[in-house]
Amino acid sequence: MNKNILLGVTGGVAIYKVVDVVSRLKKLGYNIKIIMTDSACEFVSPMTFETIGKCDVKTKMFHEGSHKIVEHIDLASWADLFLIAPASANTMAKINHGIADNLLTSCALAYDKKIMFCVSMNTNMLNNPATQKNIRELEEKGHIMVSSNSGLLACNVVGDGRLKEPWEIVEEVEKYFCKKDLTGKKILVTAGGTVERIDPVRYIGNDSSGKMGYSIAKKAYMRGAEVTVISAKTSVECPDGVENIKVESADEMQKEISNRIEKFDYLIMAAAVSDFKVANKRDKKIKKSDNFNTLELKENPDILKSLHKNENQIFIGFAAETNNLIENAKKKLSEKNLDYIVLNDVSKSDIGFNSDYNKVTIIGKEDIFEIEKESKLNIADKILDLIK
Residue 319 contacts ligand C5P per CB under 6 A: yes
Q: Least distance from C-beta 236 to ligand C5P, angstroms?
A: 18
Residue 59 or 313 with smaller CB distance to ligand C5P? 313
Residue 137 or 335 with smaller CB distance to ligand C5P? 335
Q: Which stretch binds ligand C5P (CB under 6 A): 61-69, 178-186, 239-247, 269-277?
A: 269-277
Choosing from 118, 155, 178, 238, the catalytic residue is: 155
Residue 251 contacts ligand C5P per CB under 6 A: no
Residue 5 contacts ligand C5P per CB under 6 A: no
Question: Which one of residues 269, 278, 333, 383 is an interface residue with ligand C5P (CB under 6 A)?
Answer: 269
- In what helix (H) or strand (E) does residue 44 lie, and over which residues does it extend? none
Q: How far is CA 259 from the centre of its chain?
A: 27
Q: Least distance from C-beta 257 to ligand C5P, angstroms?
A: 8
3-state secondary structure 137-192: HHHHCCCEEECCEEEECCCCCEEEEECCCHHHHHHHHHHHHCCCCCCCCEEEEEEC
C-alpha span between 210 and 215 (Å, rounded): 8
Is 41 marked active-site? no
H helix runs in the chain, sequence order? 15-27, 38-43, 46-53, 71-78, 89-96, 103-110, 123-127, 129-140, 166-177, 211-222, 250-260, 303-306, 325-335, 376-385
Question: Which one of residues 95, 104, 250, 325 is an interface residue with ligand C5P (CB under 6 A)?
Answer: 250
Q: What is the chain's Cα-based Rg?
A: 26
Residue 264 contacts ligand C5P per CB under 6 A: no
Question: Which one of residues 317, 333, 340, 387 is an interface residue with ligand C5P (CB under 6 A)?
Answer: 317
Question: What is the x/- site pattern for ligand C5P, positions 271-310, by CB under 6 A?
Answer: x-x-x------------------------x-xxx------
> Nearest-CA neighbor of 37 among 87, 109, 112?
87
Q: Say how many residues touch ligand C5P, by CB under 6 A.
A: 14
Residue 20 contacts ligand C5P per CB under 6 A: no
Residue 221 or 318 with smaller CB distance to ligand C5P? 318
Q: Least distance from C-beta 322 to ligand C5P, angstroms?
A: 11
Within 10 angstroms of residue 25's Cβ, the number of other Cβ atoms is 24
Residue 42 or 275 with smaller CB distance to ligand C5P? 275
Which positions ≥6 away from 260 have C-beta within 8 Å? 188, 228
DSSP conformation letters of 204-225: E-----SHHHHHHHHHHHHTT-
Cβ–Cβ < 8 Å for 108, 143: no
DSSP conformation letters of 232-248: -B-SSPPPTTSEEEE--
Q: Least distance from C-beta 172 to ligand C5P, angstroms?
A: 31
The catalytic site residues sit at: 155
Q: Which residues bind ligand C5P (CB under 6 A)?
A: 250, 269, 271, 273, 275, 300, 302-304, 317-319, 332, 336
